[in-house]
Amino acid sequence: MRMVVLGLGYLGATHAVCMAELGHEVLGIEVVPEKRAQLSAGQVPFYEPDLPELLNRHINSGAMRVSDSYAEAADFADVFFIAVGTPQKKGEYSADLAYVDAAIEELIPLLTRNSLILGKSTVPVGTAQRLSDRADELAKDVEVEIAWNPEFLREGFAVADTLHPDRVVVGAFPGGRAEVVCREIYAPIVQAQTPFIVTDPPTAELVKTSANAFLATKISFINAIAEVCDAAGADVKAIADAIGHDARIGRKFLNAGLGFGGGCLPKDIRAFMARAGELGAAEALSFLREVDNVNMRRRTRMVELARQVCGGSLLGKRIAILGAAFKPESDDVRDSPALNVAGQIQLQGASVTVYDPKAMDNSRKLFPTLDYAASAVDACDTADVVLVLTEWQEFADLDPHLLSETVRNRRVVDGRMCLNAEVWEAAGWQYYA
């Protein structure tokens, strides 16, 4: 099937490449020249395992092409995916739908045959209905159907999550062809017995935001328990392991630590709260404010702990920060807890050196005043304390004996509880988590 993906950022590029992998002919539309040039050359402009190989293959085979022309897109296919960004509005919690609206406004007047537009972007509930109404106004002698097909991919596992998802959700208005077309698009996935869930558009929109809100709540819950454990002298990891055996709870996303960040969970729970308020249901999601508060408090707690470890003041101390990406297997530093902590510590007078296996370039753009090292060992040179703030396997595998020869003081703060405390303590380190 021929299809168009509008927006080739993290979501769009992954979706376009994976649709080509499923056997479709894909045209990707990207208006940023630098990004478009990279993708056209078979280069992924961000780090995502397995994606570069697939992109290269399908660009070279011709199964995927990249353009900036909406006119070409309108002529190429009658199935379109919207995968543009929906960032948080400046100064408020609501999602900024300017890119979604712009895509609709530019595409629909160019359409010359009946078309289906499938939304992938995370949007507030009611967006599909609003866009459907606008499509009716913009369409010229053609029928344009709007439906919502939310994504559930995880950075670091995006290819696997797209090609082997745990469910496919399609939110369609009655009488349209969205369900039939999506079953054809995702035929290999459906044939693998993946649940195929058809709902109305508002429900599909809420499936995505509800999933993110639940995951954020689960993370903040265990971090709130960690605060109680600190006060009571209990072991939060043992608690997570014990309650995780309960099938109703599960162990995933019960890892206490520095909390969540990135381009999805923080903005999505805030946009969910904002939309609930617009609908007159603000009280229903009031608990998400505390979820957000607990999450942000973890960053402050990490700075306080670093200061305590350094004897009560960070002034003049040398701090090694291992990790800059908001999570491992990613170079994404949007709302990164690690960089937030690094910035706060620098403001308190410390000399901060950061190392991350993949996120160095993005970190420099966001925090140019921090120092950066070429390796974990270099970052720890003469450090008074080492902070592990992203759980890369490279950091979990570090040899504390080797680092002992580099640091000024053998003190490590495990912000992700990914180190073996016994091994580090046996090597003479003071271990904090």
Give the catalytic positions in this structure.
Answer: 264
Q: Which residues of 295-316 are buried (b: 16+ CB within 10 A; e: fewer)?
A: bbbbbebbbebbbebbeeebee
Amino acid at 127: T
From the centroid of its chain, how far is CA 406?
34
Q: State how far the alpha carbon of 66 is from the alpha carbons of 44, 60, 162, 266, in Å.
A: 12, 12, 20, 31
Tokens, residue 216: 């954020």
Amino acid at 103: A
- At 275, phi and psi to the nearest 5? -70, -40
Q: What is the DSSP letter of 110?
A: G
**How far is it, in rounded angstroms, from Cα 269 to Cα 429?**
39
188 SS3 class:
helix
Tokens, residue 252: 């995933």
Name which of 135, 176, 172, 173 is nearest 150 in CA terms: 172
Q: Long-range contacts for 177-186 (Cβ within 8 Å, ≥24 apart)? A: 177/116, 177/145, 178/116, 178/118, 178/145, 178/147, 178/149, 181/79, 181/116, 182/118, 182/147, 182/149, 184/1, 185/1, 185/3, 185/19, 185/22, 185/24, 185/79, 186/22
Strands 168-171, 64-67: pairing is unpaired
Q: Which residues of 134-157 are buried (b: 16+ CB within 10 A; e: fewer)?
A: bbeebeeeeebbbbbbbbebebbe
4 close to 27: Cβ distance less than 8 angstroms: yes
| Angle of CA points 211, 213, 217, to nearest 5° | 120
Burial bucket for residue 160 (CB in 10 Å: 0-12, 13-18, 19+): middle
- Cβ-based neighbour number of residue 174 at 10 Å: 5
